[in-house]
Structure 1
Amino acid sequence: MAGGEGKVVCVTGASGFIASCLIETLLRRGYTVKATVRNVADPNKVNHLKAMEGAKERLRLFQADLMVDASFDAAVDGCDGVFHTASPVVFDNIKDPQTELIEPAVNGTPNVLRSCLRSSSVKRVVLTSSLAAVVVNRKGLDGNAIADETWQSEPGFCEETQAWYCLSKTLAEEAAWNFAKSHGIDLVVINPGLVIGRCLQPILNVTFEEFLHIITQGTSPIAAIGVVILVDVKDVVQAHILAFENPSANGRYCLASASLYISEVREIIQQLYPTFTLPPCVENDRLNGNALQISKEKVKSLGVDFVPIEQSIKETIEFLKERNMLVIP
């Protein structure tokens, strides 16, 4: 990948899991980064960013809110590109889907794109979407199916299954494409599965809570189609940067290292940690045959070389052990 010396980019939702790792890599590659958070005075949101190598010289923090029009203008102004990662992430215990998830995601994305439109310097926008916007449909229930970038999650099916996070990502991506096509914005979308690996944030996010749930309970609210689709954060960061730096990058890129039933994830863990006793799975999750697979063809053409899933799972578990979230002998 080419270096980023002399290039200025904006990263929204900078305190998040993907965004923090993305910023660290961008700084290491020589980029100047203008990063947005909802509260620049919150040490849990910004201290880990300020501590990064190169941050003192090439990181600027801006306060912005998805629900506040034009609040991203200052951060986006003068940037060559924008990585829009900011979006609420809530998987369960959702009381008001419209307020908690859908409105910030769906209204916030065009808000950021309007700021990009007002800045003549922005050449490309890379949007962090999700496989939640791809695979949550009736086709995904077929155990022998292979999903690719042409797939779309069905809003009606998301509502029927109360997959509110999936609905928010589906509607937000649709809003982004509609806005980009109407206003001539060069938009590339990254659609990762459940992101695992090492986290830079001081407070663990809900992604790790769900991964812990798989390990300790044998169930997961995110397995809406019976499978867990995993990808390493290093692969996600690589895909974002390649999508920005490669002029031929276009459309969507599905990003999955492995698509596994919960029981298969736990089998890998058992092989890695044979002395660790896992509680039994709640149900037989392989009744539908093979787990839904995700095509890697397009994203590999971009240059992404996936971390082996066993390595990703091991690094995630070791990280959780270091944070005292998991005890494994």
Structure 2
Amino acid sequence: MSVRRIVFTSSYGAVHMDPNRSPDKVLDETCWSDTEFCKKTKNWYCYAKTLAEKSAMAEAKKRGVQLLVVVPPMTLGPALSQGLHLTGKHLTQYMTVGTKRAVPNAVAGYVDVRDVAQAHGLVYKSPKASGRYLCIGYVMNRLELIDLVKERFPHYPFSKRDEHDKTPMVKPYKFSNQKIKDLGLRFTSMKETLSDMVLSLQEKGHLPIYTISKL
């Protein structure tokens, strides 16, 4: 039996890196990262993700296969692996002494790993599915993200914003996740995602266990 449909996991690194895009532009499935800009700035991650997705599209078209693409951002939540993965470091570096001294005034997209898994299933099973699907739950400033963790786990020695940084808080960019919502996905709250992630990191020994407060 020949393959008719493939679900490909891309990254929002293939979507958002474009210096010419207006701040008022709503990021959606039509957006692509500018590969020339990525090369110029040596952002090889975004460059590679963009080329990988476009190459997959070209190969699928050549072979007559329907390619469906799920595009997640920074993926958070409980981990299956025992080791400390990249997104685990993304959080623990601001919760342990001697790592990051300051939280950057920067924004990023986030999603729960369980939502990404569900998105793949929804896209694969839906007869009406086509093209790309942004699987972005939230876009927020890193400082706001850490504040959410502090609400539930206030006893950690959190990094703070650089006291010398007087620039205004960077605002989240606009985006649309309506296409994946139309297939039935409902995004997990970031409070729940972060709480489950910290508990998972504690269980695996990557964070010390302190008293926790209720959600």
TM-score bin (small chain): 0.7 to 0.9
1:155-304 aligned at under 5 Å gives the runs: 155-216=35-96, 217=100, 218-219=102-103, 226-282=106-162, 284=165, 287=168, 289-304=170-185
* Runs (5+) with no aligned partner, structure 1: 1-119
Query: What letter is aligned with 1:277?
Result: P
> In structure 2, how many angstroms separate the alpha carbons of the residues matched to 1:205 and 1:267?
22
Flag as ranges the 4+ runs of structure 1 deviating above 4 A: 283-286
Q: What whole-Å deviation, never above 9, does each CA across 1:110-156 have from its counterpart, x for those lacking one?
A: xxxxxxxxxx43121000001111111115683x4431111101112
> In structure 2, how many angstroms separate the alpha carbons of the residues matched to 1:191 and 1:154?
16
Query: Secondary structure in 2 aligned to 1:204?
Result: coil
- Between the two proteins, what is the percent identity of the paired residues? 31
> In structure 1, how many angstroms separate the alpha carbons of the residues matched to 2:166 and 2:118?
32
> In structure 1, how many angstroms separate the alpha carbons of the residues matched to 2:122 and 2:174?
23
Return the offset for 1:211.
2.9
Return the offset for 1:203.
2.4
Return the offset for 1:305.
0.8
> How well do the aligned residues superpose, as a CA RMSD in angstroms?
2.3
TM-score (norm 2): 0.86
**Counterparts in 2 of 1:290 and 1:160: CA distance versus 1, 3 Å:** same
Query: Secondary structure in 2 aligned to 1:259?
Result: strand
**Counterparts in 2 of 1:244 and 1:261: CA distance versus 1, 3 Å:** same
1:325 alignment partner in structure 2: 206
Q: What whole-Å deviation, never above 9, does each CA across 1:251-309 have from its counterpart, x for those lacking one?
A: 00011111111111111111222333312124759737521132111110111111001
1:312 aligns to 2:175 (yes or no) = no
Return the offset for 1:174.
0.8
**Counterparts in 2 of 1:181 and 1:284: CA distance versus 1, 3 Å:** farther
- The range that moved more, 259-268 or 204-213, is 204-213
**Counterparts in 2 of 1:215 and 1:293: CA distance versus 1, 3 Å:** farther
Length, aligned pairs only: 205
Query: Secondary structure in 2 aligned to 1:176?
Result: helix
1:29-178 aligned at under 5 Å gives the runs: 120-139=1-20, 142=23, 144-178=24-58
Higher helix share: 1
> In structure 2, how many angstroms separate the alpha carbons of the residues matched to 1:147 and 1:269?
27
**Counterparts in 2 of 1:258 and 1:284: CA distance versus 1, 3 Å:** farther
Query: Secondary structure in 2 aligned to 1:249?
Result: coil
Query: Secondary structure in 2 aligned to 1:138?
Result: coil
Query: What letter is aligned with 2:204?
Result: R
1:112 alignment partner in structure 2: none
Contact 1:137 1:152 in 2 (8 A): yes
> In structure 2, how many angstroms separate the alpha carbons of the residues matched to 1:133 and 1:188?
15
